[in-house]
Structure 1
Amino acid sequence: MIALGLEGSANKLGIGLISHPAQGKPPIILANLRHTYHAPPGSGFLPKETAKHHRSWIVRLVKQTLQQTGITPSQISCICYTKGPGMGAPLQSVAVAARTIALLWGLEDKLIGVNHCVGHIEMGRAITRASNPVVLYVSGGNTQVIAYSHYRYRIFGEALDIAIGNCLDRFARALNIPNDPAPGYNIEQLAKGGKELVDLPYAVKGMDCSFSGILAWVEGLADRLASDENDSRADRLKTEEGKVVTPADLCFSLQETVFAMLVEITERAMAHVGAEQVLIVGGVGCNERLQQMMGLMARERGGSVYATDERFCIDNGIMIAQAGLLAYGTGVRGTVEDSETTQRFRTDEVYIGWRERDG
């Protein structure tokens, strides 16, 4: 079976082609193409402009995918697209493209809507071969600690306000950090030069966490780096505690604080279910410091961490193709008429029929 996957829930448009050669064998990634819409520094990407970007690029990426792989439409078993969660206009623009392709290729009754979060998890499991891990899903729009049980991905804890990726993106705007290749990546590189740890609010509430207060605090510090005279950036500032800090120190401090929160709630979930493995997925999961901190915790528990690089952590079409093809293999079918999208689509709403009851 071969599936074409279309992802466009945020600013990244991804087209993927994947093959499941036989039961029990790993999937074969045939193509994994992506194009990103970058907003100007100091601003975020708007739904209207993002959707326009996706409409401009999706046809050429699909054509490039077929040319690169030599696969013809007659060989494709199903078309998979992101149903949600995500930004409304970009989701709808990609869904329209998926419907059009399905009609053109005679696959109008084989159109599979995929949960974006489940796509991340299944791609991570396929690449790392993690068996039954606790999953930390961290991205621009989601922050969740997840464990599998009884055909569902159960959410143990999550962000109560804004997602970790959104927190990092908005902080990047406060420091006027470029959005290319990604604001979180640029923060990570700056943080490597940070030495002074600034005390920031730490908001863990049971299995949940909160990032809006931390963001407001560091945004206030970032604002003080701006000169009132010419709006240029100062090199350093003095905190109320008397510490002299730089932009790199703020990036370093923010990362250390929010990642420590994520490690805490992940460890609590591991203890609850008796897991020895942690799988990190989502765009923020590319962060090497997060992987390092999670690895220290896991090793102290006698466990291990699984993660992937930016090819599969960052939103991509191949993860939608993977999750869609797994569902297709269990008999799930969809039509053009019922190929809706939704901005709110919980991870635990999806029936995971391709896994055993207990993992």
Structure 2
Amino acid sequence: MTANSEFCVLGIEGSANKIGVGIIRNGVVLANPRETFHAPPGEGFRPSETAVHHRQQIVKLVSKALAEAQIHDPKVEIHGIAFTKGPGMGAPLQVGAIVARTLSQAWNVPILPVNHCVGHIEMGRLITGAENPVVLYVSGGNTQVISYSNQRYRIFGETIDIAVGNCLDRFARCIMLPNDPSPGYNIEQAAKKGSKYLELPYTVKGMDVSFSGILTFIEERGPKLIQKGEYTKEDLCFSLQETIFAMLIEITERAMAHCGSEELLIVGGVGCNLRLQEMAEKMCKERGAHLFATDERFCIDNGAMIARVGELMLDQKLYGKMEKTTVTQRYRTDQVNVLWRD
């Protein structure tokens, strides 16, 4: 196949509690079904239980994606199988890797190991049309401010402990908010009804942020303040959001100033949050910059974002070797050679 060939790639994403299968042809999303494992209120999702869920769903999702994309003969119409190599949780990741290896061999097409974080970035660029933005990547497992340079996505700043989504999820468990559709979404809705601000630790260290101290503070004091009637659950959700989002916008603006960038792209599951988007929009407006963001179809983990990077890798003949298609729980964004960008 030449660089101008028509590529159709199937991508599998299963790094956390969502398992998704996406199909992309020439940058057009043909199918993108997914299923989510929801733990009971007050609990997080465990790797082993999540992997069982993914194994139960993956075959149905592959069939559904092929049907939605109107792929009748995958051996002929599919040109590559992409899967999430990492970062993520080991047991869930392995489900996607095993299925990808199986399909690659059954259909005799290249296998393409994809970095999850790069998947978010490239999907965001594709959907929004952003050319060379500073990227604020915020999710349950990752928090990074990123910019592209010399065929690498360079990390300007990141969390030094837990990710922003993990912070939100754990606080949601603390106050017994449900996990369906997601803890972060339920915090966002509760925060809209809150108005009384509780001052929380604001921890920005250069270009990095820290959320563990904020979480400990609000986990220890929050339930007591609610019990005393001094604050409501909604007030605490409001206070937590305002504080951690302000921290994120501060380091993002600093990165934009350093790069002289007039574009900001927000990606990752927490990027769906409309309050975060509102704060980012205000910052961008003051700088004369433009904000790019997507909705839950593409912000939240999905197979199409993995297929998109697979498509770009296929064009550059960046095939994976079958014996090296293992998973890597700690696979950093800046480890990837981004050869498809100038």
Give the TM-score of the pair, scaled to structure 1: 0.92
Query: Do the aligned residues in 2 keep the contact of 1:9 with 1:86 (CA within 8 Å)?
Result: yes
Distance 1:7 1:201 in 2: 35
1:6 to 4, 12, 15: 12
Q: Which residue of 1 aligns with 2:275?
A: 289
Q: Which residue of 2 aligns with 1:126?
A: 126
Alignment of 1:223-238 (within 5 A): 223-224=223-224, 237=228
Distance 1:126 1:153 in 2: 16
The structure with the greater share of residues assigned to helix is 2
| Deviation (angstroms), 1:70 | 1.5
Distance 1:217 1:104 in 2: 52
Q: Which residue of 1 aligns with 2:327?
A: 341
Q: Which residue of 2 aligns with 1:229?
A: none
| Deviation (angstroms), 1:335 | 3.0
Q: Does 1:254 align with 2:256?
A: no
Query: Do the aligned residues in 2 keep the contact of 1:14 with 1:35 (CA within 8 Å)?
Result: yes
| Deviation (angstroms), 1:62 | 0.3
Query: Do the aligned residues in 2 keep the contact of 1:31 with 1:65 (CA within 8 Å)?
Result: yes
Distance 2:44 2:222 in 1: 17
The one-letter code matched in structure 1 to 2:219 is E
The worse-fitting range, judged by mean Cα deviation, of 335-344 and 83-92 is: 335-344
Q: Which residue of 2 aligns with 1:326?
A: 312
Partner SS, residue 278 of structure 1: strand
1:77 to 55, 79, 89: 79
Q: Which residue of 1 aligns with 2:257?
A: 271
Partner SS, residue 114 of structure 1: strand
Q: Which residue of 1 aligns with 2:104?
A: 102
1:314 to 295, 300, 315: 300
Name the Cα RMSD after superposition. 0.9
| Deviation (angstroms), 1:220 | 1.2
- Unaligned runs of at least 5 residues, structure 1: 21-26, 226-233, 239-243
Distance 1:182 1:111 in 2: 31
Distance 1:237 1:38 in 2: 31
Distance 1:302 1:138 in 2: 23
The one-letter code matched in structure 1 to 2:13 is E
Cα deviations by residue, 1:265-284 (Å, 9 ceiling, x for unpaired): 00000000100110000000
- Unaligned runs of at least 5 residues, structure 2: 1-6
The worse-fitting range, judged by mean Cα deviation, of 159-168 and 91-100 is: 91-100
Query: Do the aligned residues in 2 keep the contact of 1:177 with 1:183 (CA within 8 Å)?
Result: yes
Q: Which residue of 2 aligns with 1:230?
A: none
Distance 1:56 1:198 in 2: 43
Alignment of 1:183-198 (within 5 A): 183-198=183-198
| Deviation (angstroms), 1:120 | 0.1
Q: Which residue of 2 aligns with 1:145?
A: 145
Q: Does 1:206 align with 2:202?
A: no
Q: Which residue of 1 aligns with 2:158?
A: 158
| Deviation (angstroms), 1:327 | 1.1
| Deviation (angstroms), 1:237 | 3.3
| Deviation (angstroms), 1:222 | 2.8
Q: Which residue of 2 aligns with 1:228?
A: none
1:298 to 284, 292, 312: 284
Distance 1:132 1:333 in 2: 25
The one-letter code matched in structure 2 to 1:81 is F
Distance 1:205 1:311 in 2: 33
Question: How many residues in Structure 1 have an aligned counterpart in Structure 2?
Answer: 334
| Deviation (angstroms), 1:101 | 1.3
Distance 2:67 2:129 in 1: 30
Alignment of 1:51-90 (within 5 A): 51-71=51-71, 72-73=73-74, 74-90=76-92
Query: Do the aligned residues in 2 keep the contact of 1:237 with 1:246 (CA within 8 Å)?
Result: no
Q: Does 1:18 align with 2:20?
A: no
Partner SS, residue 166 of structure 1: helix
Q: Which residue of 2 aligns with 1:24?
A: none
Distance 1:346 1:75 in 2: 32
List structure 1 runs of 4+ shifted beyond 6 angstroms.
none
Distance 2:98 2:223 in 1: 42
Q: Which residue of 1 aligns with 2:4?
A: none
The one-letter code matched in structure 2 to 1:142 is N
| Deviation (angstroms), 1:197 | 0.7
Partner SS, residue 248 of structure 1: helix
Partner SS, residue 118 of structure 2: helix
Distance 1:275 1:67 in 2: 41
Partner SS, residue 132 of structure 1: coil
